[in-house]
């Protein structure tokens, strides 16, 4: 369990010490500051989860300090404390973003209830924000195939430890789902999960996105601080430029970093999960990814299998996304016929689970019929039923040789489309010597793209 970090700011040493001891006895991590200058330094060094802030201090008053911190955005919950409180002061503090206002002499019960409610309120605020930004199904790995059961077991084991994880897999295979599942089963599950899609952030803004900024006295926390105590999910690490990779490696090794424009290091406590659809070893050999960063992230490797390698999970996935889309996007329920499910199970799914989910959504939107049949699925997949179905029933009615030839023709035509008619790429994909492949294509009556047939 990761403890919440509370910063206590008060100019009276007895109160600072007493509040710190009370909070530590309750399992919180508490640090103290005797004035605004010390509070600024503590806030810059490590963003707290909650601030107990005295209003009347000798250098800068608490209201002015609250205004200063609020300018940076992403303000943690602040509870104002005063021995000379007035209604006007309390209203002003709440208007500026404070969570609550308590008076001295402090009641231990009142203090702890306020702290607990403030932290719970902040957790709910962040969860609501996450749900508004990205409405996604719950982090569940659907299926009973051997490979997906093994992955679930690996995630359950890894989640018990704080080791960093590198999750690989093809685009759309469910890497983000695996990462969110790992976080939800870890000791950090009550803390934030912050995802950064590095490929989507302009190169000139990456450092500010990751490490935040500190300009003209205004602190704007980056992803590292937002994920404090929780998990930082880095998507496509190889897309970072080498200079930022060096900064990232330093931050990960030393567990502290400098904000853009800052001079004092900020301590960090988080778990890192990196996900990628690229061959990172190849990226290292090509000089696009630092070797030391690769090994730093690749402490525990997990691989999410492509959907074509676990076809037996397709019916369960169809049922899961069908029900989720009906419930959450209010689409009409449609039953999939056994023939339609068989067609989906035998499809190659180049876009993996993302393609399957999008296909189901499209089928629910475009037709009001009660049942989704084979022809509708084949058309949605971009072909006729015969082109789409890997093993049509009629295949089993033929003698072995013509059945084999029919399968080989469908197999090679499918992969030839995948490589855009390039026979050299097809040769590598199907692991067949090129000359032999040309003879096979000719014998099956297949003409590669850009070549003329015998009848022309």
Identify whether residues 152 and 291 lie together within a single domain. yes
**HEC profile of 293-341:** HHHHHCCEEEECCCHHHHHHHHHHHHHHHHHHHHHHCCCCCCEECHHHH
Identify whether residues 311 and 237 lie together within a single domain. no
Indicate the residue among 372, 388, 404 that finishes a domain: 388
Identify whether residues 95 and 191 lie together within a single domain. no
Torsion of CA 61, 64, 70, 71, to 10 degrees: -140
Identify whether residues 121 and 222 lie together within a single domain. no
With beta carbons less than 8 A apart as the criterion, state whether 221 and 47 touch.
yes
Per residue in 308-359, pLDDT tens? 999 999 999 999 999 999 988 889 999 999 889 988 988 889 889 999 999 9
Indicate the residue among 103, 133, 163 that finishes a domain: 133
- With cut-offs at 50, 70 and 90, classify the pLDDT of residue 424: confident
pLDDT of residue 86: 63
Kindly state the tokens that stand for 236: 């496509």
pLDDT of residue 205: 85
CATH (domain of 32): 3.40.50.2300
Per residue in 351-398, pLDDT tens? 899 999 999 999 999 888 899 998 898 888 875 454 455 455 455 566
pLDDT of residue 1: 59
- Whether the per-residue pLDDT at 439 is higher than 70: the answer is yes
In a domain, 451, yes or no: no
Determine the Cα–Cα distance for residues 201 and 191; give it in Å rounded to an integer. 24
With beta carbons less than 8 A apart as the criterion, state whether 358 and 317 touch.
no
Identify whether residues 9 and 110 lie together within a single domain. yes
Number of domains the chain is built from: 4
Identify whether residues 81 and 114 lie together within a single domain. yes
Per residue in 86-128, pLDDT tens? 667 777 788 888 888 888 888 999 999 999 999 988 887 776 6
DSSP string, 224-274: HHHTTTSEEEEE-GGGS-HHHHHHHHHHHHHTEE--BT--S-EE---EEEE
- With cut-offs at 50, 70 and 90, classify the pLDDT of residue 447: confident
With beta carbons less than 8 A apart as the criterion, state whether 145 and 308 touch.
no
Determine the Cα–Cα distance for residues 251 and 232; give it in Å rounded to an integer. 13
Determine the Cα–Cα distance for residues 179 and 297; give it in Å rounded to an integer. 14
Per residue in 255-269, pLDDT tens? 889 998 888 888 888
Domain that holds residue 430: 393-443
Identify whether residues 242 and 367 lie together within a single domain. no
Angle at CA of residue 420, ends 419 and 425, nearest 5°: 35
pLDDT of residue 452: 46
pLDDT of residue 398: 65
With beta carbons less than 8 A apart as the criterion, state whether 346 and 391 touch.
yes
- With cut-offs at 50, 70 and 90, classify the pLDDT of residue 83: confident
Identify whether residues 23 and 115 lie together within a single domain. yes
In a domain, 252, yes or no: yes
Q: Is pTM, for the whole model, over 0.85? A: no
Determine the Cα–Cα distance for residues 417 and 29; give it in Å rounded to an integer. 59
Strands 266-267 and 256-257: antiparallel
Orientation of helix 400-418 relative to helix 423-430, angle to 10°: 120
- With cut-offs at 50, 70 and 90, classify the pLDDT of residue 456: very low
- Whether the per-residue pLDDT at 202 is higher than 90: the answer is no
Determine the Cα–Cα distance for residues 178 and 180; give it in Å rounded to an integer. 6
Identify whether residues 48 and 180 lie together within a single domain. no
- Whether the per-residue pLDDT at 218 is higher than 70: the answer is yes
Per residue in 268-289, pLDDT tens? 889 999 999 888 999 999 999 9
Per residue in 17-58, pLDDT tens? 999 999 999 999 999 999 999 999 898 888 899 999 998 888
In the numeric block, the tokens 């599942």 are attached to 181
pLDDT of residue 449: 61
Identify whether residues 73 and 117 lie together within a single domain. yes
Mean pLDDT of all residues in the chain? 85
């Amino acid at each position: 369990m990761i403890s919440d970090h509370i910063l206590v700011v008060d100019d009276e040493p007895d109160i600072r010490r007493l509040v710190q001891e009370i909070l530590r006895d309750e399992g919180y991590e508490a640090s103290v500051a005797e004035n605004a200058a010390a509070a600024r330094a503590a806030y810059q060094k490590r963003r707290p989860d909650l601030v107990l802030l005295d209003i009347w201090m000798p250098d800068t008053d608490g209201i002015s300090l609250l205004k200063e911190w609020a300018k940076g955005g992403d303000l943690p919950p602040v509870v104002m404390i005063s021995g000379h409180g007035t209604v006007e002061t309390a209203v002003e503090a709440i208007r500026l973003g404070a969570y609550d206002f308590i008076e001295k002499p402090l009641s231990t019960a009142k203090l702890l209830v306020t702290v607990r409610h403030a932290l719970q309120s902040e957790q709910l605020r962040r969860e609501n924000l996450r749900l508004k930004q990205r409405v996604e199904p719950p982090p569940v790995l659907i299926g009973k195939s051997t490979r997906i059961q093994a992955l679930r077991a690996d995630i359950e084991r890894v989640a018990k430890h704080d080791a960093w994880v590198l999750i690989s897999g093809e685009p759309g295979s469910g890497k983000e789902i695996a990462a969110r599942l790992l976080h939800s089963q870890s000791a950090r599950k009550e803390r934030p999960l912050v995802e950064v899609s590095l490929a989507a952030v302009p190169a000139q803004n990456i450092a500010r996105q990751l490490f935040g900024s500190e300009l003209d006295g205004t602190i704007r926390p980056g992803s590292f601080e937002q994920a404090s105590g929780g998990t930082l999910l880095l998507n496509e690490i190889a897309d970072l430029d080498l200079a930022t990779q060096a900064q990232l490696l330093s931050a990960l090794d030393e567990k502290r970093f400098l904000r853009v424009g800052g001079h004092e290091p900020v301590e960090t406590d988080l778990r890192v999960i990196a996900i990628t659809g690229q061959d990172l070893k190849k990226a290292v050999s090509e000089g696009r990814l630092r070797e030391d960063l690769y090994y730093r992230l690749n402490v525990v490797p997990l691989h999410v299998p492509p959907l074509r390698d676990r076809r037996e999970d397709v019916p369960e996935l169809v049922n899961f996304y069908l029900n989720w889309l009906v419930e959450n996007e209010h689409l009409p329920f449609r039953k999939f016929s056994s023939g339609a499910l068989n067609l989906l199970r035998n499809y190659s799914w180049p876009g993996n689970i993302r393609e399957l989910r999008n296909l189901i959504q499209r089928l629910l939107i475009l037709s009001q019929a009660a049942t989704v049949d084979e022809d509708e699925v084949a058309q949605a997949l971009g072909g006729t039923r015969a082109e789409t179905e890997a093993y049509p029933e009629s295949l089993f009615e033929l003698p072995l040789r013509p059945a084999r030839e029919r399968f080989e023709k469908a197999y090679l035509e499918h992969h030839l489309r995948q490589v855009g008619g390039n026979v050299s790429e097809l040769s590598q994909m199907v692991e067949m010597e090129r000359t032999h492949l040309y003879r096979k294509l000719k014998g099956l009556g297949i003409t590669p793209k850009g070549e003329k047939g015998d009848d022309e």
